[in-house]
Structure 1
C-alpha cells in the first residue's frame, strides 16, 4: 500500500499539471484563437463559461462518489477526460466543437481540481488531512508559474493547435499516476445519526443538516462572490494586461510571480500561522483580495504590478487552505465530499457566467478599469459575509 507521503506527493504532481493545463492555460489561448479564427471575445469566453457550469453541476455527484469510496475512478477518469478535451479543442474549427471540448473539460475539472483530491485525503487520513492539504496546495501553487511561460513557449514554437496536443499528452501521464497511487480502498464512513428531535448525535453533519443552518449559506455566498471575481480575472487577465499597454512578454513577467507568491503565503502560514484558526485566516485573506485589485487598477509601473501579483498570489494561495478546511472544521469529515460539493456547486454555477457576462459588461463599464473596480466591490462583500459566519452549534 502506498504510504501517506507517497500519496500526497503523487496527488501534488497531478494537481500542478491539471491546474496548469485545464484552468490556467485558457487565458493564454484567447488572443491566438481570436486572431486565427476571427471569433469574438464573448464567443470564446462562452466556452469557458460552459466549462464552469458543467464543473458546478458535477461537483455534488463527484463528492458523493468520493464519499462512496470511488475517488480512484474519479481522479483517474478526470485526467483522461481532460486529455480528450484538449485533443478535441485542438481540432476546433467551429464554435460548437470548441464548446463541446470545453464541456468535456468542465467535467474533467470537477473530477480533478483540488476538491476531489482534498476530499479523498480527508477520507483516507482523517487525523492528518490538514497537513496533506497544505502540502498539496504548496506544490499546486506553482501551477500558474508553470502554465503561463510554458504555454507561451509552446504557442511560439508550435502554434496553438499543436500546443494543445502537447497538453493532452501531459494529462495522459497524470491518469496512470492517480490510478496507481489510489489503488488501495479506504473504509466508507457510515451516515451521521440524529436523535428523534433531529439533533446530530455525532460531530459529522450530513448535507441536509448543514443546509438547515445559516453558516452554510453565508460561506456559500462568500465563496460564490470570490469565485465569480477570480474566474473573471483569470479569463480576462491577458487582455487586461494588453489594455494597460503591456506586451505579452511584460505580462508574463508579472504573472510568473503568482505561483511563488501563493507558495510564499502558504509557507508563511506553516511557519507563523498554524496556531491561527482558519476563520481568522479567512478574514485576512479575503481582505487581501480587494487590496490587490486596487493595486492593479491604480498601478502602471511594472514593479507596482508585480506588487499586485504578489498580493493576489498570497490571497489566492491561502484561500484554498481556508476553503478546504472550513467544511471539516464546521461539519466534520464523514460527509465532506457531499457538503463541499454542494457548496462549491452553487458557487461554480453562479460564477460560470462570469467570463461571458463580463466580456459584454466591458462595454457598459468603460473598459477593464471599471470591470476591476466592480470586482473589488465583490471582494469586499465576500469579506463581510465571511465575517458573519460562525461554526454551527450542535
Structure 2
C-alpha cells in the first residue's frame, strides 16, 4: 500500500527540480547577459561562449553519467549535481573575468548533466515498466520543466532590476539549493527490480553493434539540431523576411506554448498509435513548416502558419527519445545507452545554431530554413526505418532483451 504512490512522488520531485534547474542554470543566462557583459567589459559573443561551454561539457559528461546512473542509481549523482550547480551559480555571481565565467560554466555543464532531464528520465525508467505510465511520467516532468523559461525569465528580471545581476544570482543560488538538493537526496530512489550491480558488461558496445542505436542517434541528432537552430534564429529569420522585431518576438514565443501542446498530443495519441509513428508524422509536418517559411513567411498569416506547423513537434523529441530507448533496450542499460546517444545529440545543440549563423551570413536565411527542413526529414526517415525494423517479432524481442 505504501509503495503505490511512491513512484509518482518521485516524478513530482523530478518535475520540480527540472523546472528549477533549467530555469536558473540555463534560461536565466539570457536575463543576465547584458548587465554581465557590461560589468565584465566583454562583447555579447564572447560572453555567450560561456553557455556553449556548459552545453559541450554536459555532452562530454553524458556517457559517464549514464553509466554511473545504471550502476549506482540517481540519488547520489543527482544530489551531487545539485550541490555542484548551487556552488557554481554562487561563484557565477562573483566572476570578474571571462576566464572565470567560462570556468564556472564548465562546472554548471557538469551539474546539468548530472541533475536535469537525462538523469531524471533514467530514474523514471527504473520505476515504470508499462509503456503508457512511463510515457505519462516523462510527460509530467517535461511539461513542468518546459515552464522553466516562463517562470524564471521574469523572476530573474525582477531580481536584476531590484538588486543587480550579482545579488540576483545570490538569491537564485538559495532557490536552487533549497529546491533541488533536498528533493534529490530525500525523494530519488532506484526502482524496484533493477539490479544494484548496474548494466550487463558491454551494454554500450552491444548497443553500438545494433541498427536501432544508430537510427535513434541519426534521428535525434538531426531533430535536436533543427529544433534548437530554429529556436535561436527564428526572430532574426522573421525580421529578415520584413516583419517588425515585436511581431517576430511574439511569433517566436509561440514555440514554447506549442512544445507543451505537442507533448500532450503525443502522449494522448500513444494509447492508439505507436510513439515512433506519431513522432515521424510530426517531424514531417515540421519539415513542411520550415521549408515553406522563406516564401509563406513574408506575410504575417503565413509566418504564423509556418511557426504553428514547426511548433507542434517542437517538444516531441524530448519525450520520444527516452520512450524509444526504454522500448528497445533493457532498463538496467538505459542510462548507459541514453548517455551514449546524448553525447552527439547535445553537441548538435551547440553546433547547429553556430553553423546556421555562418550559413545565414553567407547566403541569407532561405538555405538555413531548407537545411532545417532537411534535418527534420532525415529524422522522420530514421524513425520510419526504426519502425520497419520493429515489424519482425523476433527482432523486436532481441532488441528489448537485456544487453550483454
Alignment of 1:140-155 (within 5 A): 140-155=145-160
2:347 to 349, 368, 372: 349
Q: Does 1:129 align with 2:134?
A: yes
Query: 1:30/1:136 Cα in 2 relative to 1: closer, same or farther (>3 Å)?
Result: same
Deviation of 1:47 (Å): 2.1
Given that 2:70 and 2:199 are in contact with CA atoms closer than 8 Å, whether structure 1 keeps it comes out as: no
Aligned to 1:111: 114
2:19 to 3, 16, 20: 16
Deviation of 1:125 (Å): 3.0
Q: Does 1:276 align with 2:276?
A: no
Aligned to 2:171: 166
Query: 1:277/1:103 Cα in 2 relative to 1: closer, same or farther (>3 Å)?
Result: same
Deviations 1:25-82 (A, max 9, x none): 3444445545554534442343222222211111111111111133011222222222
**Separation in structure 2 between the aligned mates of residue 379 and residue 351 of structure 1, nearest angstrom:** 14
Q: Does 1:50 align with 2:48?
A: no
Secondary structure at the residue paired with 1:315?
Answer: coil
Given that 1:80 and 1:171 are in contact with CA atoms closer than 8 Å, whether structure 2 keeps it comes out as: no
Query: 1:370/1:184 Cα in 2 relative to 1: closer, same or farther (>3 Å)?
Result: closer
Given that 2:219 and 2:382 are in contact with CA atoms closer than 8 Å, whether structure 1 keeps it comes out as: yes
TM-score (norm 1): 0.82
Deviations 1:113-134 (A, max 9, x none): 2121111111133344333112
**Separation in structure 2 between the aligned mates of residue 26 and residue 236 of structure 1, nearest angstrom:** 17
Unpaired segments ≥5 residues, structure 2: 399-404
**Separation in structure 1 between the aligned mates of residue 251 and residue 348 of structure 2, nearest angstrom:** 29
**Separation in structure 1 between the aligned mates of residue 342 and residue 116 of structure 2, nearest angstrom:** 12
Query: 1:4/1:88 Cα in 2 relative to 1: closer, same or farther (>3 Å)?
Result: same
TM-score (norm 2): 0.81
Q: Does 1:315 align with 2:337?
A: no
Q: Does 1:84 align with 2:87?
A: yes
Deviation of 1:287 (Å): 1.8
Aligned to 2:99: 96
Deviations 1:188-218 (A, max 9, x none): 4267779xxxxxxxxxx93222210222112
Deviations 1:326-345 (A, max 9, x none): 11112232211101111111
1:211 to 203, 208, 212: 208
**Separation in structure 2 between the aligned mates of residue 109 and residue 44 of structure 1, nearest angstrom:** 19
Q: Does 1:178 align with 2:178?
A: no
1:138 to 139, 143, 156: 143
Given that 1:149 and 1:256 are in contact with CA atoms closer than 8 Å, whether structure 2 keeps it comes out as: no
Q: Does 1:67 align with 2:65?
A: no
Query: 1:236/1:309 Cα in 2 relative to 1: closer, same or farther (>3 Å)?
Result: same
Between Structure 1 and Structure 2, how many residues are aligned? 382
Larger relative contact order, structure 1 or 2 (CA cutoff 8 Å, min sep 6)? 1
> In angstroms, what is the RMSD of aligned CA positions?
3.3
Aligned to 2:384: 387
Unpaired segments ≥5 residues, structure 1: 195-204
**Separation in structure 2 between the aligned mates of residue 255 and residue 162 of structure 1, nearest angstrom:** 30
Deviation of 1:255 (Å): 5.0
Deviation of 1:103 (Å): 0.7
Given that 1:51 and 1:352 are in contact with CA atoms closer than 8 Å, whether structure 2 keeps it comes out as: no
**Separation in structure 2 between the aligned mates of residue 147 and residue 309 of structure 1, nearest angstrom:** 24
Query: 1:309/1:142 Cα in 2 relative to 1: closer, same or farther (>3 Å)?
Result: farther
Query: 1:372/1:134 Cα in 2 relative to 1: closer, same or farther (>3 Å)?
Result: same
Given that 1:285 and 1:319 are in contact with CA atoms closer than 8 Å, whether structure 2 keeps it comes out as: no
Given that 2:58 and 2:110 are in contact with CA atoms closer than 8 Å, whether structure 1 keeps it comes out as: yes
